[in-house]
Amino acid sequence: MNNPYPKNNQPIRLRSRYVVQALIALFSAIAMFLLFKGVIFAQTFQVINDEWLWFSSNLQRTNLFAGTKSNNSIEHQDSRLGNFTYDKYFEQKGQPPAYNFLQLLTKDVRGARIDGKDIVFLKTGLRLALKTDLVPSGADQALPYLLEIPNTKIVCVVYPYYFYGCKENKHLVELYSEDGDLLHLFDSLPTHAVKKNPNLLISLNRSGCCDSLKWSIRFYNLSNGKVSKYECPEGACGDMLFLKLEKEGSFLVGLELIGFLSGVGAFLQTNIYIINDNGSLIASGKIIHAFRSPLIHKNNIRDISPFSITKLSSLKPITNNGSGMWFLEFQDKEFKTPLLLRGNNKDKTPAVVFLMPKEDDSKEIIEFNNKEIGPLPTIVICEPGNYEISGRKSKMMKRIKVQSEAINKIFF
């Protein structure tokens, strides 16, 4: 299958839309066949010659609700969920999405104040010294400040610090009751509270840009002090989707990872997380779509794959039998892909490895852990771990470590 490439800044297809549609349907059918046979179709080792598609085993194609109208409990019920991704929304509206279910932690603190080197709690008059040894050694500490959680009297004491040359400020945060009792200590800064549940704090952090972009979303449960984090590696982040699906219930976090090596190919990984109103993960799934093509570009991988988070049209729980399942649907211009999500993904995520020769004219046959993969460049799918690359003719050998949820680029 020939893959699309950009022309006049618009992605086009080298073959008819029917061929593309048929191939994607074939990949999905093969994946489902292996799944029902009880086979993990994330092969331990595989060379990608054209195109490769992987679903976590708890994510299955279905016809259960195909053709029915979605009933997403979001601000505009008739809108596709993918329209609310950060990048797409910004491109269309000129501003980030409005997360109306959140409210910023306020700097209008009523329960305490900083007096010199002390924190004074106004209800009791208790004075506590600001911490001078809380931040890591070697860090430069900025001036501490206070925040308050709306609709509560919980005071946050924020200790900002940074390391020389570090791109981002870091924070340690103490949470106190209005009486001055220490409740929690966090090693990151919550920025918002959920309007209907002030005991759940959230930080929604977008840092860097272009090749250094990074998303990090955290949920802070004040009932038990637990923090859960969902992020993508710096420089590998695509679009991000963050919504509250139900007025009294679940949140959706969708994160894209994009890997690309010029002249070799690209992959798109879509991670989906559903989090309940106390910050606990209740369902998750992953999709990886890899393309081996020297013509593909990073800028159009999201247009090529039907599983970009911008193409998620609907997601809703299946509650009639207490199954804990979710129905979701991806919708491209020409077709829909309905899927069934069952609980949390427990699969080991495959690693995508881009292999490129150091010398452009190299024709040497390469072995990957003693398995012949032919000349470079190529793309290999494998389990994360340690491997050896060797040249059959030169007998050169290189040990490498590959990781999932990362961009593995190896030159040999």
Q: Is the distance from CB of 102 to CB of 192 less than 8 angstroms?
A: yes
Longest dimension (CA), the chain: 79
- Overall average pLDDT of the 178-203 stretch: 95
Q: What is the pLDDT of residue 28?
A: 42
**Mean pLDDT in residue range 79-92:** 90
| Sequence letter at residue 171 | H
Residue 268 has pLDDT above 60, yes or no: yes
Structure token pair of residue 391: 């040249």
C-alpha to C-alpha distance for 309 and 380, rounded to whole angstroms: 24
Per-residue pLDDT of 205-251, as tens digits, reads 988 776 778 899 999 999 999 999 999 988 889 999 999 987 767 99
pLDDT at 39: 33
Region 162-176 average pLDDT = 86
Position 320 scores a pLDDT of 62
Reply yes or no on whether the pLDDT at 36 is more than 80. Answer: no
- Maximum average pLDDT range among 98-107, 296-305, 352-361: 98-107
124-127 LR contacts (CB < 8 Å, sep 24+): 124/178, 124/179, 124/180, 126/179, 126/180
Mean pLDDT of 369-391: 92
Confidence of residue 383 (pLDDT cuts 50, 70, 90): very high
Query: What pLDDT digit, counting tens, does each position of 246-263 carry?
Result: 776 799 999 999 999 998
Residue position matching structure tokens 């501490």: 144
Instruction: Tell me the average pLDDT of the chain.
Output: 84
Tell me whether residue 253 is exposed, middle or buried, using C-beta atoms within 10 angstroms of its C-beta: 0 to 12, 13 to 18, 19 or more: buried
| Global pTM value | 0.84
The pLDDT of residue 53 is: 93
Integer Cα distance of 40 and 343 in angstroms: 17
With a cut of 70, say whether residue 304 has pLDDT above it.
yes
For the chain, the three-class secondary structure string (H helix, E strand, C coil) is CCCCEEECCEEECCCCHHHHHHHHHHHHHHHHHHHHCCCCCCCCEEEECCEEEEECCCEEECCCCCCCCCCCCCCCCCCCHHHHCHHHHHHHHCCCCCCCCEEECECCCCCEEEECCEEEECCCCCEEECCCCCCCCCCEECCCEEEECCCCCCEEEEEEEECCCCCCCEEEEEEECCCCCEEEEECCCCCEEECCEEEEEEEEEEECCHHHCEEEEEEEECCCCCEEEEECCCCCEEEEEEEECCCCCCEEEEEEEEEEECCCEEEEEEEEEEECCCCCEEEEEEEEEEEECCCCCHHHHHHHCCCCHHHEEEEEEECCCCCCEEEEEEECCCCEEEEEEECCCCCCCCEEEEEECCCCCCCCCEEECCEEEECCCEEEEECCEEEEEEECCCCCEEEEEECCCCCEEEEC
- In degrees to the nearest 10, what's the CA dihedral of 397, 403, 404, 410? -40
Q: Give the tens place of pLDDT for each residue, 310-345.
A: 999 999 888 765 567 899 999 988 788 999 999 999
Distance CA 114, CA 136 (A): 22
